[in-house]
């Protein structure tokens, strides 16, 4: 078993779990050789998670992927906290069940973003319109696809993560 799979990936999983309120399943796939990864140069990585709650938002399933990731892995192995050394672009695909959508719409984060009382959407068209409006408020998020069917939502887009 390599240092990457026995030490680095569990540390990254621990950090990701600490960023969420709850998380049922988490899988991380890291591309590159052990030598590249131990130097903090990760050519590509993907994260798949299910039943995630992040800042009050309930996400049924999500997949994130990024390339050219530069982390402070050598420092991490010396006991320092994980840091992203250069900004990255993250490709996201997320699915929200009707129950997750309802929970998201009631979250403080969404209520704050809407800033005015609203009636819960009664059909897919109203929900899609509301979500389009909400997503347009995310300055750095570029929406690529938004599909609403039977109260379920599929969303795909790109967003940056800044160096820490």
What value does the mean pLDDT take over residues 19-29?
93
Q: Read out DSSP for the chain?
A: --HIIIIIHHHHHHHHHHTSSEEEEEEEEEES-HHHHHTTEEEEEEEEEEEEEETTEEEEEEEEEEEEEEB-HHHHTTTPPP-B-S-EEEEEEEEE-HHHHHHHHHSHHHHHHH-S--PPP-SHHHHHHHHHHHHHT-TT-EEEEEEEETTEEEEEEEEEE---
**27-78 tens-digit pLDDT:** 999 888 888 888 889 999 999 999 999 999 999 999 999 999 998 988 877 8
Q: Is the pTM of this model over 0.85?
A: yes
């Amino acid at each position: 078993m390599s240092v990457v799979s026995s030490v680095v990936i569990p540390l990254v999983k621990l950090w990701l779990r600490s960023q969420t309120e709850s998380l049922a399943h988490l899988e991380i796939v890291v591309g590159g050789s052990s030598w590249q990864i131990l130097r903090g140069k990760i050519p590509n990585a993907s994260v798949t998670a299910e039943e995630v709650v992040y800042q009050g938002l309930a996400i049924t399933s999500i997949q994130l992927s990024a390339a050219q990731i530069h982390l402070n892995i050598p420092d991490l192995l010396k006991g320092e906290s994980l840091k992203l050394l250069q900004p990255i672009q993250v490709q996201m695909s997320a699915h929200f069940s009707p129950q997750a959508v309802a929970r998201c719409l009631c979250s403080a984060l969404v209520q704050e973003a809407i800033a005015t009382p609203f009636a819960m959407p009664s059909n897919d068209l109203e929900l899609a319109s509301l979500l389009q409006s909400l997503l347009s408020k995310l300055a750095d998020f570029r929406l690529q696809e938004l599909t609403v069917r039977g109260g379920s939502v599929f969303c795909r887009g790109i967003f940056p993560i800044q160096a820490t």
